[in-house]
């Protein structure tokens, strides 16, 4: 009976004649654990789609309710915290996995002939994944999201010629308002996923059409005239069926990643939403999610004069490099052992991102708008001018940018020990005329106040400075 049903289904669906040959298509026997990243990205995408659909059952994409609906999902809905948590950590997993997959494909030269279009479709999927990450964090409609829209628009505004149009299309108007959020919502849940479904189909089709690239061996360059024939023979002589000989690793790895994501969402939970989006609440410290934080750090560390060029030029340059890569280097050595520049560029990129990420987390360039109090013990026995100086140091917000006695911002130099570095005249000059990023305080301090501050700082010579 069951056999009969299976035979009927098999006949009508073509399971064994059309589907199984694809599932069991031969792959090189030597493929290894480096090959699990792409399928894990696909699994992460699938999980994002499923949890995203679940979230959409409760999420209200209107500025006056979006934040409240997410608060409901996170704190009131049954297991809503876990669903949102999986979506939250799943997005990080997907960004990490697709980045690693891209790096792996580049390092092993898998983008070379005849797999140029595999690479290109993958590059577009990578860009779309970043687009999903950006639009997704906006849907929280908290303060970070609101100001991320503004910061995103400010960057788009720097595009030559069409900057103003781009901003208005991004905001769906001339300011952030009722139409903005639905624009990002539709983009996040319909537009980008639809494009990704299409591109994933193309990507998978191309993988089956050209076969999974064999792990490279040094001294075995790709020769366009003979590669296909050689690869077919390789599969014929020592190929194994993808399912299950290769697929088991994909399953194990995807399950491991999934276990981490689920564990994080249960044990740690999704990030708190923070304050709701409010354009009139200016006590905001907008920060992007970690996967864009390194870029945020880059923009604060480059010279201001180069900013417009970098903001537009950097993403364009990276995109252009990725797109022309398979046409610049379509043949030749694939092994990383014979491509030191490929290894170096990935290594340097990873290092740069790690360093920038660390800087972005610490953000030493940001003044502290709610600065701590400098310990009063600092002026003990220094006399009244220094005591008044300390009060001014607090009242005039010097402490927002400068550390003194271990308390304060890190935008400017730590002033512990400044009395040993600078004379009274130099201190007075710096305070009155500023420079090097410091505002001139000449107009907001009386001569007596300046004198008091100098008195305070000149006394900071006995302790050695910490930076």
The contact set with another protein (CB under 8 A) reads: 62-65, 146-147, 150-151, 153-155, 157-158, 163-165, 167-169, 171-181, 276-280, 282-286, 299-300, 304, 307-308, 365-367, 369, 395-398, 400-401, 411, 434, 436-441, 443-444
Q: Residues 105-131, buried b or exposed e (16+ Cβ, 10 A)?
A: bbbbbbbbbbbbbbbbbbbbbbbbbeb
Task: Pick between residue 18 and residue 282 the one whose CB is nearest to another protein.
Answer: 282
Whole-number minimum distance, CB 286 to another protein, in Å?
6
Question: Could you tell me the smallest distance in angstroms from the CB atom of residue 210 to another protein?
Answer: 29
Q: Which is nearer to another protein, 87 or 287 (CB)?
A: 287
> Residue 410 and residue 337: Cα distance in Å, rounded?
43
Which of 240/299 has CB closer to another protein?
Answer: 299
Asked if the peptide bond before residue 244 counts as cis, ω within 30 degrees of 0, the response is: yes
- Closest approach, Cβ 35 to another protein, in A, equals 39
Cβ at position 293, least distance to another protein in Å: 12
Closer residue to another protein in complex, CB, 168/335: 168
Residue with Cβ nearer another protein (93 or 192): 192
Residue nearer to another protein on the CB measure, 279 or 313: 279
Write down the least CB distance from residue 141 to another protein, Å.
8
- Nearest distance, CB of residue 182 and another protein, angstroms: 9
Q: Closer to another protein by CB, 12 or 283: give it.
A: 283
For the bound state, the minimum distance from the C-beta of residue 196 to another protein, rounded and expressed in Å, comes to 20
List phi, psi (to 5°) of 417. Answer: 80, 10
């Amino acid at each position: 009976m069951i056999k009969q049903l299976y035979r009927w289904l098999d006949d009508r669906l073509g399971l064994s004649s059309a589907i199984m040959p694809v599932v069991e298509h031969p792959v090189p026997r030597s493929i290894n654990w480096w090959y699990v990243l792409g399928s894990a990205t696909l699994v992460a995408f699938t999980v994002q789609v499923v949890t995203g659909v679940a979230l959409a059952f409760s999420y209200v994409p209107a500025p006056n309710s979006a934040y409240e609906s997410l608060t409901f999902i996170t704190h009131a809905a049954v297991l809503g915290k876990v669903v949102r948590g999986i979506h939250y950590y799943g997005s990080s997993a997907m960004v990490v996995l697709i980045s690693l997959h891209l790096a792996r494909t580049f390092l092993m030269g898998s983008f070379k002939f005849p797999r140029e279009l595999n690479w290109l479709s993958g590059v577009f999927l990578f860009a779309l994944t970043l687009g999903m990450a950006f639009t997704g964090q906006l849907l929280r409609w908290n303060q970070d999201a609101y100001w991320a829209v503004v910061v995103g628009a400010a960057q788009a505004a720097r595009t030559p010629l069409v900057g103003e149009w781009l901003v208005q299309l991004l905001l769906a108007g001339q300011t952030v308002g009722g139409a903005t959020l639905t624009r990002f919502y539709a983009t996040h849940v319909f537009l980008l996923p639809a494009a990704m479904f299409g591109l994933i189909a193309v990507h998978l089709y191309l993988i089956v059409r050209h076969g999974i690239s064999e792990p490279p061996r040094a001294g075995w360059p790709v020769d366009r005239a003979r590669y296909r024939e050689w690869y077919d023979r390789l599969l014929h002589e020592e190929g194994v069926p993808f399912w299950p000989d290769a697929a088991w690793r994909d399953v194990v790895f995807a399950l491991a990643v999934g276990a981490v994501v689920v564990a994080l969402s249960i044990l740690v939970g999704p990030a708190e939403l923070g304050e709701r989006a409010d354009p009139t609440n200016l006590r905001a410290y907008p920060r992007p999610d970690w996967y864009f934080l390194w870029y945020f750090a880059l923009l604060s560390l480059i010279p201001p004069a180069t900013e417009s060029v970098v903001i537009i030029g950097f993403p364009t340059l990276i995109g252009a490099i990725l797109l022309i890569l398979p046409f610049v280097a379509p043949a030749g050595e694939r092994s990383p052992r014979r491509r030191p520049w490929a290894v170096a560029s990935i290594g340097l990129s990873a290092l740069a991102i790690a360093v920038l990420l660390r800087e972005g987390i610490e953000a030493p360039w940001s003044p502290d708008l709610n600065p701590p109090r400098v310990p009063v013990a600092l002026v003990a026995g220094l006399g009244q001018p220094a005591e008044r100086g300390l009060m001014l140091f607090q009242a005039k917000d010097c402490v927002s940018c400068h550390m003194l006695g271990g308390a304060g911002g890190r935008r400017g130099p730590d002033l512990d020990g400044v009395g040993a570095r600078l004379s009274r005249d130099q201190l007075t000059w710096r305070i009155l005329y500023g420079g090097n990023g410091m505002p001139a305080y000449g107009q907001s301090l009386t001569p007596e106040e300046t004198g008091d501050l100098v008195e305070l700082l000149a006394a900071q010579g006995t302790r050695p400075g910490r930076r």
